[in-house]
Amino acid sequence: METIANTSSWKQADRMALLVIDLQNDFCSPDGYLAQRRGYKVDHVKGVLPNIRLLIRQARAAGTPIVWIRSHYDFKYINEAFMAKRGEEGCCLENTWGADFYEEHPAEGDIIVDKHSFSGFHGTNLDDILRQHGVKTLIVTGVATNVCVDSTLRDGFFRGYHIVLVGDAVGSNSQTGHDGTLATVNNNIGTVAPTAEVAQWLARNYVPA
């Protein structure tokens, strides 16, 4: 597996942003939509949450931009094909507990981008925000690895961003899907790195003297 030290995209460390994708109650809580209405297991969230929390803390202390990407899937926003897959139940509806962030929340100065599809770039101003901050590399965390995380990092790659997927800070109820995304990123898109290595790199390169 490629490591940060050997990855040229990390040479300008001050041009990174941390993406936190879909860390919301409906996706992550045992009382949320996926667990209660779809019958999906969300055990993976507890495993990745401490790693996401560590990266948020490191990035915040260092002044690295943190972008929280939040889903709103009200029927007024999604297309017919998406609605057919979603079913009649609403998920991550605006101004509801289900759409709120799960356990971790943005702080003052963090950026929130609302999306209405799987990709954080589709129909949003995420690309404009990142370019305004001079971001070249995306550190990607969140859920689900093979759905919204995958869609967002692919769109980011197509737009010219270097991708670092934090393999133990993303999760999915499908281990097969999770492993597939990690393999695809490592082989074709960017770098897969563990939380410990990313956190060390952030501390070494970002924290002001």
As annotated, the active-site residues are 22, 115, 148
Q: How many CB atoms lie within 10 A of CB 114?
A: 18
**Both tokens of residue 163?**
């991708």
Distance between CA atoms of residues 195 and 57, nearest Å: 12
Distance between CA atoms of residues 126 and 175, nearest Å: 28
CA distances from 146 to 68, 149, 160, 170 (A): 18, 6, 20, 9
